[in-house]
Chains A and B, each alone.
Chain A
Amino acid sequence: MKRPRVDVEANHRLLTRRAAILGGVQLAFVGALGARMQFLQVDQADQFRLLAEENRINIRLIPPARGEIFDRNGVALARNVPSYRIVMVREDAGDVDAAVDALSKLVTLDPDEVERALAEMKRSAPFLPITVADEVSWEDLSRVSVNAPALPGVTPEVGLSRVYPLGSDYAHVLGYVGPVSDFDLERIEDPDQLLRIPRFQIGKVGVEAKIEENLRGKAGARRVEVNAAGRVMRELDRREGTPGSDLQLTIDSKLQSYVQARLNGESASAIVMDVENGDLLSIASAPTYDPNLFVRGISSRDYKALTENKYRPLASKSVQGTYPPGSTFKMITAMAALEEGLIGPDETVYCPGHIEVAGRRFHCWKRAGHGWVDLQNSLKQSCDVYYYDLAVKVGIEKISAMARRFGLGERHDIPMSAVAQGLTPTMDWKSRVHGQSWVVGDTVNASIGQGFMLASPLQLAVMTARLASGTAVTPRLIKTIDGIEQPSGAGPSLGMNENNLRKMRRAMYDTVNDRRGTAYGSRIIEDAVRMAGKTGTSQVRNITAAERARGVTRNEDLPWERRDHALFVNFAPYDDPKIAVAVIVEHGGGGSKAAAPIARDITLQALYGEEPPLEAYPTKDRDRIKQQQQVLRGIQPVANFAGRDQA
């Protein structure tokens, strides 16, 4: 069949026209595509390039090694050891339960830890790595690494973990580190980027918390290229951080361990302080706990056991605890009177066992009374009536002012948690706080360290050191930071009459070394290390007139928490004072019986620098002391940390 030529020509023209229209549309579309390309790639290039970098480049902080802590002789107290852990990123893991399941086929997982990790994963952002297994062994770690492709979102990590080799001996001084909490972040203004690292460890209490800034160091950073799954493909560059500063404490670890062992079994605290430069040689508090438990996150059962213990192991009693100083305060009252010139030479007071002041009867601890007593005897025998008499003459303002000159009622600047201020009451204070006016009975109570008067063992040690040295020595805990010696605690002279101070020291010497002294039973017989001290027994209850008429109940017959606190402060050697010691045994009964023997043992240990020879003890005590030394040698600090056995 043949078509007319015209038809063919017309058809072809139409086709050409239509093809041209369609071609025009296509060309326009190609133009549009080109324009879009230009828009995305040229006009908006900078913006997208930035987004691409964000996509690809991650800045990962390198946590710096935390500063380590040593005692004054270089014994390690807080160290960093490498620890391996397995982290999981929820976003990449997909089905978290399945991932945990797969992981548990490779390594043994602690169900508690997993439960906590799962809870944490639910709470936190999906891209944050959460630790599912901590302190895993090298074998487990390699097994996870090898199987990494089959475990999306699971990565092994190497980090440094804090350990406290001497554990419980330093729980109260050093405190412990732990992962940053939301609570911590809220407290800190302008937090360091480092703190955003999940489970980054910061000091929670004690020196670890107070010197945090020095110990933490500066973060390093590495720029890494990551893929869409967040897995690190390669490291682009790396800037190392600055490790934290190492600290050296003034603590003597040998003495500290001894003191902790000696206090073991009591609810007690003790301070040993250098009388000249204020170095704190030991800060002990019992019972104690193992700070290593807190580093990993303490189990709620362990934590409950600590908080429910009536001896309050978590409290650092030596600096946080405040107690009525009792008779250990009598030196202050006496010094206030002496400095005011209110005690004439050979002046005596008659003690019938009680005294009437402003219509109230105040009792001496000795019901029968001490008869005629002078200053030396009043301190030696701890006669209360003598001080009641002085107090009325001197007045509370002078007594409290004197107490403050000796470091009571002052928050000493040492880097431990909740250092107590104590209380040296004044008339003004009482009307301000209690809304009542000061009565002379308050002064009488204060004169023997009862009533409103409160002091911590640290303050009592400072008081004793100042009495011994005659200088305003202040306590010092940090010896060096990064090898740089910190300011000494040595202070200027107290500006008190040296004769008065000497009288006090002599009276304290007699208290221990005179047959009639209250601490005679705890004397040291080695001449070179003889000590001078003062006992204290502070009531924690009111003794009613009825009870007094019946006969005061003996401490041993009371429930523990109503018994008196036992206190003892001393310095030694008497001839050339080097150390001051303060011991408080909570509800221990009498100071001479409960606190003084402990203080003597500590003093000897500190002065000898090792287990003292039995010759330093009175002959009749030696057998007992020998046994005691054997027992103490067996007491080791509690320290549970991974890798302990390998170390």
Chain B
Amino acid sequence: MSYLEYTVKHVPSGPRKILYLNWPLALLLAAVACIGFLMLYSVAGGSFSPWAEPQMKRFAMGFVLMLIVAMVPIWFWRNMAGVAFAGTLLLLLGVEFFGSVGKGAQRWIDLGFMRLQPSELAKITLVMILAAYYDWLPSHKKSRPFWVLIPVLLILVPVAMVLRQPDLGTSILLLAAGGGMMFIAGVHWAYFAAVIGAVIGLITAVFQSRGTEWQLLKDYQYRRIDTFLDPASDPLGAGYHITQSKIALGSGGWTGRGFMQGTQSRLNFLPEKHTDFIFTTLAEEFGFIGAFSLLVLYALIILFCVVSALANKDRFASLLTLGIALNFFLFFAVNMSMVMGLAPVVGVPLPLVSFGGSAMLVLMLAFGLAQSAHVHRPRQGY
């Protein structure tokens, strides 16, 4: 069903649209953001500055942005997908020359009122362009090699540019989100099996060749991989964060130490306590119950998105909403795995909780798109 089939009268119009928003989803987002404010207040030692207050302002801005985006019909966004994607690529190219490098490796452009990270924007526009592509592509063509190659290139171009920054975390997320989109769109499973097989084969070859005559990497590269995969082997270097983070988490126990009673994160045992490692503060102060509650909230956000997507008869809207949900999932899954010592440390923030402007605004923009899809879904008998 394409947008041409929409009958305008089947869709709410004017200010009435606001009643048809996916309100449970909006409330869930606000709830998660509030947890973020609490944690930022706590890590600042019981103070709204320097983190909690700007974060609240940004969330308010983001929420308004989400509403505005939601009010705009979804078919407009579909038409914008190509422009947005091209714009993102230009911005990515721009930061190569004009961007500044922050503490990590993410490059941003200073817009005056905020710092824009084109790599964050890329997560959304990539999902948009892929959703639009598969909405446009006749379904019998979607598994043909040529029509598979096009989305692969669409994914690899921004991935390569982000990797150059070099922001490994974001490029992995982009790759995973793009691959996920192709999977959802129904590309033949054999392609995925082949790629996964090839990757496994390559990894095996790299490791099997170690110490033999035909070893594929240099010795120091292997050592870097070792510490990357097993930070515990370097407890005062790479492993320090993970060890301290596990200690903070573990010491929370069932119920935690209580609000503002966390010691590990506040006493600077943890780096990046207000950004990538903020989850440890939550886990320490509110224990398993608090940490698990946040996980449940995240899962509910995904669930509401998926339900909304599957109920939507519009292919672009479905794909877009599922892609946004997948992106969101990748965000918190990678961050939590990293903090809990399941994954190597890559700079990925905890969505809506970690301090950071760009990520927050881009996320709210994405949920605005999901809301727009929800509001403007084709209805029968409206």
A interface residues, Cβ below 8 angstroms from B: 1-3, 7-8, 10-12, 14-16, 18-19, 21-23, 26-27, 29-30, 32-34, 36-38, 40-42, 44-45, 47-49, 51-53, 55-56, 225-229, 233
- How many angstroms between the C-alpha atoms of A18 and B322 in the bound complex? 11
Of the candidate stretches B223-231, B307-315, B348-356, the one touching chain A is B307-315
Inside 8 A of A12's CB, which chain B residues have their CB? Answer: 313, 315, 318
Known contacts A41-B283, A227-B268, then 17 further A-B pairs from the complex at CB < 8 Å, ordered by chain A residue: A3-B1, A11-B139, A15-B185, A15-B186, A18-B184, A34-B295, A36-B342, A38-B288, A40-B246, A42-B288, A45-B250, A52-B251, A52-B263, A55-B244, A55-B247, A226-B267, A227-B269
On whether A41 and B310 interact (CB within 8 A), knowing A33-B295, A52-B264, A229-B268, the answer reads no
- How many angstroms between the C-alpha atoms of A27 and B268 in the bound complex? 33
21 A-B pairs (CB sep. < 8 Å): A3-B1, A7-B138, A7-B139, A14-B139, A18-B183, A18-B184, A21-B183, A22-B180, A26-B329, A37-B288, A40-B246, A40-B340, A41-B288, A48-B246, A48-B250, A48-B251, A52-B248, A52-B251, A55-B244, A55-B269, A229-B268
B259 within 8 A of A: no
B window 1-23: CB within 8 A of A: 1-2, 4-5
- How many angstroms between the C-alpha atoms of A34 and B337 in the bound complex? 10
Is the pair B264, A34 in contact by a Cβ cutoff of 8 Å?
no
Of the candidate stretches B122-130, B195-203, B298-306, the one touching chain A is B298-306
Inside 8 A of A49's CB, which chain B residues have their CB? Answer: 250-251, 253
Which B residue's beta carbon lies closest to that of A18? B184
> Considering only CB atoms and an 8 Å cut-off, how many residues of chain B contact the other chain?
51
Is the pair B326, A56 in contact by a Cβ cutoff of 8 Å?
no
B window 198-229: CB within 8 A of A: none
Which B residue's beta carbon lies closest to that of A53? B251
- How many angstroms between the C-alpha atoms of A10 and B254 in the bound complex? 47
Is the pair B251, A45 in contact by a Cβ cutoff of 8 Å?
yes
Is the pair B295, A56 in contact by a Cβ cutoff of 8 Å?
no
B30 within 8 A of A: no
Is the pair B315, A51 in contact by a Cβ cutoff of 8 Å?
no
- How many angstroms between the C-alpha atoms of A14 and B254 in the bound complex? 42
B333 within 8 A of A: yes
Inside 8 A of B169's CB, which chain A residues have their CB? Answer: none
Inside 8 A of B288's CB, which chain A residues have their CB? Answer: 37-38, 41-42
Is the pair A45, B315 in contact by a Cβ cutoff of 8 Å?
no
Q: How many A-B residue pairs have CB under 8 A?
A: 142
B window 259-312: CB within 8 A of A: 263-264, 267-269, 283, 287-288, 291-292, 295, 298-299, 302, 306, 309-310
Instruction: Tell me what chain B mostly uses at the interface: helix, strand, loop, or mixed.
Output: helix
- How many angstroms between the C-alpha atoms of A229 and B270 in the bound complex? 11
B interface residues, Cβ below 8 angstroms from A: 1-2, 4-5, 138-139, 180, 183-186, 244, 246-254, 263-264, 267-269, 283, 287-288, 291-292, 295, 298-299, 302, 306, 309-310, 313, 315, 318-319, 322, 326, 329, 333, 336-337, 340-342
Is the pair B249, A40 in contact by a Cβ cutoff of 8 Å?
yes
Inside 8 A of B185's CB, which chain A residues have their CB? Answer: 15, 18
CB distance from B218 to the nearest CB of A (A): 30
Inside 8 A of A23's CB, which chain B residues have their CB? Answer: 302, 306
- How many angstroms between the C-alpha atoms of A21 and B187 in the bound complex? 14
Contact of A45 among B253, B263, B313 (CB under 8 A): B253
Inside 8 A of A7's CB, which chain B residues have their CB? Answer: 138-139
Inside 8 A of B244's CB, which chain A residues have their CB? Answer: 55, 228
- How many angstroms between the C-alpha atoms of A41 and B4 in the bound complex? 53
Is the pair B250, A41 in contact by a Cβ cutoff of 8 Å?
yes
Inside 8 A of B298's CB, which chain A residues have their CB? Answer: 30
CB distance from B265 to the nearest CB of A (A): 10
- How many angstroms between the C-alpha atoms of A3 and B246 in the bound complex? 54
Is the pair B267, A233 in contact by a Cβ cutoff of 8 Å?
yes
Which A residue's beta carbon lies closest to that of B248? A52
Inside 8 A of A226's CB, which chain B residues have their CB? Answer: 267
Which A residue's beta carbon lies closest to that of B342? A36
- How many angstroms between the C-alpha atoms of A226 and B4 in the bound complex? 66
Which B residue's beta carbon lies closest to that of A23? B306
- How many angstroms between the C-alpha atoms of A27 and B299 in the bound complex? 8
CB distance from B284 to the nearest CB of A (A): 8
Inside 8 A of A3's CB, which chain B residues have their CB? Answer: 1-2, 138
Is the pair B251, A37 in contact by a Cβ cutoff of 8 Å?
no
CB distance from B57 to the nearest CB of A (A): 29
Contact of B340 among A1, A11, A15, A33 (CB under 8 A): A33
Inside 8 A of B251's CB, which chain A residues have their CB? Answer: 45, 48-49, 51-53
Inside 8 A of A38's CB, which chain B residues have their CB? Answer: 288, 292
Is the pair A52, B247 in contact by a Cβ cutoff of 8 Å?
yes
- How many angstroms between the C-alpha atoms of A12 and B329 in the bound complex? 22
Inside 8 A of A51's CB, which chain B residues have their CB? Answer: 247, 250-251
Is the pair B336, A33 in contact by a Cβ cutoff of 8 Å?
yes
Which B residue's beta carbon lies closest to that of A21? B183
Inside 8 A of B322's CB, which chain A residues have their CB? Answer: 15, 19, 22
On whether A228 and B263 interact (CB within 8 A), knowing A19-B322, A42-B254, the answer reads no
- How many angstroms between the C-alpha atoms of A40 and B186 in the bound complex? 38
> Which of A16, A41, A45 is packed against the most chain B CB atoms within 10 Å?
A41
Please name the 4 residue pairs, one residue from A and one from B, whose CB atoms are nearest each other, closest first: A48-B250, A52-B251, A41-B288, A45-B253
Which B residue's beta carbon lies closest to that of A49? B251
Is the pair B264, A19 in contact by a Cβ cutoff of 8 Å?
no
Is the pair B263, A15 in contact by a Cβ cutoff of 8 Å?
no
Inside 8 A of B4's CB, which chain A residues have their CB? Answer: 1
- How many angstroms between the C-alpha atoms of A503 and B283 in the bound complex? 94
CB distance from A214 to the nearest CB of B (A): 40
Is the pair A15, B315 in contact by a Cβ cutoff of 8 Å?
yes
Inside 8 A of B246's CB, which chain A residues have their CB? Answer: 40, 48
Inside 8 A of A233's CB, which chain B residues have their CB? Answer: 267
CB distance from A94 to the nearest CB of B (A): 14
> Which of B4, B139, B302, B309 is packed against the most chain A CB atoms within 10 Å?
B139
CB distance from B91 to the nearest CB of A (A): 29
Is the pair A22, B263 in contact by a Cβ cutoff of 8 Å?
no
Inside 8 A of B254's CB, which chain A residues have their CB? Answer: 41-42, 45
CB distance from A340 to the nearest CB of B (A): 81
- How many angstroms between the C-alpha atoms of A572 and B52 in the bound complex? 89
On whether A42 and B333 interact (CB within 8 A), knowing A16-B310, A18-B183, A37-B288, the answer reads no
Contact of A26 among B247, B267, B268, B302 (CB under 8 A): B302
CB distance from A29 to the nearest CB of B (A): 5
Which A residue's beta carbon lies closest to that of B252? A41
- How many angstroms between the C-alpha atoms of A329 and B235 in the bound complex? 73
On whether A15 and B319 interact (CB within 8 A), knowing A40-B249, A51-B247, the answer reads yes
- How many angstroms between the C-alpha atoms of A233 and B264 in the bound complex? 13
Is the pair A228, B250 in contact by a Cβ cutoff of 8 Å?
no
Contact of B249 among A18, A21, A22, A41 (CB under 8 A): A41
Which B residue's beta carbon lies closest to that of A233? B267
Inside 8 A of B341's CB, which chain A residues have their CB? Answer: 40
CB distance from B277 to the nearest CB of A (A): 13
On whether A42 and B310 interact (CB within 8 A), knowing A30-B295, A37-B283, A37-B292, the answer reads no
- How many angstroms between the C-alpha atoms of A634 and B77 in the bound complex? 104
> Which of B246, B269, B337 is packed against the most chain A CB atoms within 10 Å?
B269
- How many angstroms between the C-alpha atoms of A30 and B292 in the bound complex? 10
On whether A19 and B310 interact (CB within 8 A), knowing A7-B139, A11-B186, A38-B288, the answer reads yes
Is the pair A10, B139 in contact by a Cβ cutoff of 8 Å?
yes
CB distance from A235 to the nearest CB of B (A): 14
Which B residue's beta carbon lies closest to that of A227? B267
- How many angstroms between the C-alpha atoms of A33 and B315 in the bound complex? 31
> Which of A7, A21, A26 is packed against the most chain B CB atoms within 10 Å?
A26
- How many angstroms between the C-alpha atoms of A36 and B322 in the bound complex? 26
Which A residue's beta carbon lies closest to that of B256? A41
- How many angstroms between the C-alpha atoms of A473 and B269 in the bound complex? 66
Is the pair A41, B267 in contact by a Cβ cutoff of 8 Å?
no
Contact of A41 among B287, B329, B342 (CB under 8 A): B287
Which A residue's beta carbon lies closest to that of B254? A42
CB distance from B188 to the nearest CB of A (A): 11
Is the pair A19, B309 in contact by a Cβ cutoff of 8 Å?
yes
CB distance from B1 to the nearest CB of A (A): 6
